[in-house]
């Protein structure tokens, strides 16, 4: 008897760089706080769509073109994206995977980011800047969930579950294919969870 696993959903996790991450993250965090203070339109956008938190998704969503520090992040992310593309066995046919969007997410206590995917993108991901103990991870949904119909639930200890929450750690990057639905559950702790999310597209 043989049982094969078909159509795997691959998710990438890695440390952004070998050393110097504390200094780099401190600089990124200072910039994030400054942009939040300056970005009146973004704060207004967040009031309606990201209650209690701040995201620059609706205002400054190409941070890698605005800030040399975020441009540095882009350069460092590029090699992770290429490694992930290799793991996905993409045939890029000489075309480039390029960052199209990059935005700030700041989540104080109680802030949540509901289930969503990233349309018009190939690879998406998040780089974590601040992840105090107790902040939520990244919750990923099995992409086959809407076809399960009469499938029974799986045992509690089973490897295959309809949702998987990956822990998030400052200094690390998570990458996933942009069609994979995900969410950030409400932050239960007093400390702020801060990250930078981004999309890459295939040109
Ligand atoms: Fe997302």
C-alpha 116 to ligand 1 mean position (Å): 6
pLDDT of residue 76: 98
Count CB atoms within 10 A of the CB of residue 95: 11
C-alpha 68 to ligand 1 mean position (Å): 23
C-alpha 184 to ligand 1 mean position (Å): 8
- For the chain, the distance separating the N- and C-terminal CA atoms, rounded to the nearest angstrom, is 43
pLDDT of residue 18: 94
Helix (H) or strand (E) holding 165: strand 163-166
pLDDT per residue as tens digits for the range 103-125: 999 999 999 999 999 999 999 99
* Stated pTM of the model: 0.96
C-alpha 90 to ligand 1 mean position (Å): 22
Taking 90 as the threshold, does the pLDDT of residue 159 lie above it?
no
C-alpha 139 to ligand 1 mean position (Å): 10
Q: How far apart are CA 39 and CA 122, in angstroms?
A: 28
Query: Quick one: pLDDT band at residue 47, thresholds 50, 70, 90?
Result: very high
């Amino acid at each position: 008897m043989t049982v094969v696993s078909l159509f795997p959903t691959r998710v990438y996790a890695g440390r952004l760089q070998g050393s110097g991450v504390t200094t780099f993250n401190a600089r990124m965090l200072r910039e994030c706080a400054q942009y939040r203070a300056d970005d009146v339109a973004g704060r207004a956008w967040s009031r309606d769509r990201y209650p209690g938190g701040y995201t620059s998704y609706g205002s400054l969503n190409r941070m890698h073109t605005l800030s040399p520090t975020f441009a540095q992040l882009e350069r460092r992310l590029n090699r992770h994206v290429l490694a992930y593309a290799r793991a996905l066995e993409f045939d890029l046919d000489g075309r480039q995977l390029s960052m199209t969007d990059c935005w700030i997410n700041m989540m104080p206590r109680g802030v949540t980011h509901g289930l969503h995917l990233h349309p018009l993108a190939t690879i998406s991901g998040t780089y974590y800047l601040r992840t105090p103990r107790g902040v939520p991870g990244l919750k990923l949904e099995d992409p086959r969930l809407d076809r399960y119909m009469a499938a029974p639930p799986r045992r509690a200890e089973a490897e295959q579950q309809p949702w998987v929450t990956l822990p998030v750690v400052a200094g690390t990057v998570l990458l996933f294919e942009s069609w994979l639905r995900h969410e950030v559950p409400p932050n239960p702790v007093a400390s702020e969870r801060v990250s930078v999310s981004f999309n890459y597209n295939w040109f």
